[in-house]
Chains A and B, each alone.
Chain A
Amino acid sequence: MWKQIEGSRAIAETVAMCRPQVICAYPITPQTHIVEGLGELVKSGELAGCEFLNVESEFGALSVAIGASATGVRTYTATASQGLLFMAEAVYNAAGLGLPIVMTIGNRAIGAPINIWNDHSDSMSMRDSGWIQLFAETNQEATDLHIQAFRLAEELSCPVMVCVDGFILTHAYDRIDLPLQHQVDAWLPRFEPRQVLDPAEPVSIGAMVGPDAFTEVRYLAHNKQLQALERIPEISGEFYEMFGRESGGLLRPYRLDGAEIVVVALGSVNGTIQEAIDELRDQGVLIGSISICSYRPFPLEAVCRALMNAKRVVVVEKSLSVGLGGMLATDVQMALAGRRQKVFTVIAGLGGRPITKASLLKLFRQAKADALESVTFLDLNWNVINRQLARENATRRSGPAAESILKDLATLPTKMV
């Protein structure tokens, strides 16, 4: 059913259609609208048989979810940024215990300096936690991925994060085809837990495991994600059969035919990238892109196949591994291990800086001209950087960088958006 609706609301309504039995909420921008919506649906009775808990912290939120999931019910929560970091311990724990919790991440930067705007630093920080991480390109996909996430999580008994770009998707009103309840009911099976806290059949969950078995436990977690590599495309296919929409899957290629330059990116920026690609294609530039939906497990083979014929690979990512460069790029390079293609890292859109088509066009033309550095910071304001570096060279005590930079920005002409 088509609706012009805010992304967060669409996600809330869809999660509700998956009939979770426990939802816990703790507010943090930009995820908040989702749990607000769910809270309303539970209170109004539209989502029946569901317990909605307002908890005292993100750590508490995921902990409640752990308890609920271990008791054998479908469990959901959402967070972002600092919130995800504050629950980090529980994030690893939920995965370690193999609890199929689904959690939405309204992707947002991590401070300091505190910043509420979108980038991928938060979910990237948890990429090795053992959770499956799926990135949504559009609000339609964000909506659909949640249904798939519950199925995937419960089949494998493994938690899933659905990563949705904060504000850009969560706060955008879009034209979305919302699934119908009977479709969701028909497509999403009942939750059959692998382990459950039941006085009738008592077990001890969460034993201490020593060197004698820890590696095996970890390998099995890894193996689970390898199984996910098989299931994610299948589930996407099964989803298509019921809902008639392509959503999810490991990755989505765009105009790869004969492409010499292939752009790789996660999430909503792919839309703008595709606009840029169309324009360059019209000018005869052989360029295409792949949008990676499944970041964990990372589809090494699929990526390698997609990039088979590319000469240059430009990885545009909204996160920075400080001191190294790109995390996504590192994974892409692993996918291309032993091949001669050049992989360029472009750090873009940090802390909500808009990634404009104009900047992308400029970037891709440089790529075509083979004028790209291995790591590029898109739209970096060099005036500011140079002044600060100069200051720091001049005196060791140069004060907090952020403040000085803000002073500079005030004096420099900058484009307001």
Chain B
Amino acid sequence: MPFQQIKFYQTGTFTVGNRLLDPAVRTVQSDARRSNALNCGHRACRGCGEALGARYAVDAAMRASDGNLVAVNATGCLEVFSTPYPETSWQVAWIHSLFGNAAAVAAGVVAAMKAQGKNEVRIIAQGGDGGTADIGLGCLSGMFERNDDVLYICYDNEAYMNTGVQRSGTTPPAARTATTPPVGAKPGNVFGQGKSVPLIAMAHSIPYVATASVAELHDLEYKVEKAIPIRGARYIHIHVPCPLGWGSEPHDTIKVARLAVESGLFPLFEAEYGDVTERTVIRHRRPAEEYLKLQKRFAHLFRPQRDEERIAAIQAIADRNIQRFGLQNGEARP
């Protein structure tokens, strides 16, 4: 049929589902039989980006592994809101040990599966930015260096939300947290050089590294489904807004994440064996300011008066990302 090759505009190329597509090629999230790995009844805040990102990622991993999945979880919001005794929201084999050891526990699970000859079982480890970029970095690096057969997924909401929004290694410049209050001459977080776990992961030359966002479901699922079958250490860093910690509207969670991507502040790319191989080109570029304005954690950049210097400095970070990863030219992945 001639129209099969045509893109679908009414159903939108970017919507979750697409009634005109063969169900087999639709997103996992559009499937009425998706695993709902993280089920109803969890105690995450309204509009929680992490809860959304976790279900996106683990459902995709479940489909890619045909249900042969074990998940290891670091301490943090995700663990606390999903498994308060006597209820668990997880529908997959799941273990929580400590804050800083998810990567190592996962390595242990892998070793045990290998020893038992259960090579079909795929292992993921997941944690927040604190458990990944800060306290868990040692174990993570060890897992990478040994090239253990683990897919580590970091849900980055850019602060220690579980303990009440304290600064983490991935908290962006100028952001207000409980430990970087908006007071004094330079309110909010310092303008440090930042800490990019994806780049740290790439420095280990592991088979696969990717960044993803809850605003780009197709892209996210593509990356998880691509990562699952790869043998060896893999890392996916997912940007997940936190309405509570960021001071954004619960219904704006995806919008905020989208602006992070479209401003260039959160670049989407893939890397294999240490080299960037793919990037997701920005469709409609937006100024960083639009992203900042939706979040109370940046309110002090605009009130009482605009902090032109620091707004420009943040825009410069976005510009650098776009230039560095070539986010505006080149072919977007179909």
Contact = CB atoms under 8 A, between A and B. Distances in A.
> Are A and B part of the same complex?
yes
Nearest to A23: B111
B139 A213 contact: no
A229 interface: no
A208 B115 CA distance: 30
B116 A63 contact: no
A59 B106 CA distance: 14
B138 A63 contact: no
Interface string B98-120: 10110011111111111110000
A210 B93 CA distance: 22
A139 B138 CA distance: 35
A205 B96 CA distance: 6
7 contacts: A22-B115, A24-B108, A49-B115, A199-B93, A206-B95, A206-B97, A213-B85
A206 B96 contact: yes
A197 interface: yes
Contacts of A280: none
B94 A71 contact: no
Interface stretch (B24-32, B66-74, B172-180): B66-74
Contact of B83 (A198, A199, A208): A208
Nearest to B70: A197
Interface in B178-223: none
A65 B92 CA distance: 21
Given A54-B146, A199-B121, A208 B84 contact: yes
A60 B139 contact: yes
Given A56-B141, A63-B105, A206-B83, A50 B98 contact: no
Interface in B141-169: 141-142, 145-146
Interface in A58-79: 59-60, 63-73, 75
Given A49-B115, A55-B104, A197 B93 contact: yes
B90 interface: yes
B95 A63 contact: no
B97 A66 contact: yes
A69 B105 CA distance: 10
Interface in A321-373: none
A59 B100 CA distance: 9
A102 to B, nearest CB: 15
Contacts of B73: 206
B88 interface: yes
B138 A73 contact: no
B91 interface: yes
A208 B92 contact: no
Contact of A59 (B70, B85, B104, B146): B104
A204 B106 contact: no
A417 interface: no
B203 to A, nearest CB: 15
Interface size class of B (residues with CB under 8 A): 35 or more
A56 B88 contact: no
Interface in A200-250: 201-210, 212-213
Given A53-B146, A206-B83, A199 B70 contact: yes
A64 B108 contact: yes
Contacts of B70: 71, 197, 199
Interface size band for A? 35 or more
A73 B100 CA distance: 23
A50 B115 CA distance: 6
Interface centre among B83, B95, B121, B141 (most CB of A within 10 A): B95
Contacts of A208: 79-80, 83-85
Contacts of B101: 59-60, 63, 66, 90
A206 B108 CA distance: 16
Given A60-B138, A67-B97, A73 B112 contact: yes
A197 B104 contact: no
A212 B172 CA distance: 39
Given A73-B112, A73-B115, A213-B85, A202 B139 contact: no
Given A93-B97, A199-B68, A207-B84, A67 B107 contact: yes
Q: Of residues B88, B96, B105, which shows the largest number of chain A Cβ atoms within 10 Å of its Cβ?
A: B105
B85 A93 contact: no
Contact of A60 (B79, B82, B104): B104
A97 interface: yes
A204 B88 contact: yes
Given A199-B68, A206-B97, A68 B109 contact: yes
Given A63-B139, A73-B116, A208-B84, 12 more contacts: A21-B116, A55-B142, A56-B141, A59-B139, A60-B104, A64-B107, A66-B97, A67-B109, A70-B95, A202-B91, A204-B82, A208-B80
Which of A56, A75, A97, A203 is the most central at the interface, judged by chain B CB atoms within 10 Å of its CB? A56
B112 A72 contact: yes
Contacts of B104: 55, 59-60, 63-64, 67
Interface in B53-92: 67-70, 72-73, 79-80, 82-86, 88, 90-92
Contacts of B108: 22, 24, 53, 63-71, 75
Contacts of A206: 73, 79, 83, 95-97
A57 interface: yes
Nearest to B148: A53
8 smallest beta-carbon distances between A and B, as pairs:
A67-B108, A56-B142, A63-B104, A71-B112, A206-B96, A63-B101, A67-B105, A204-B88
Interface string A240-280: 00000000000000000000000000000000000000000
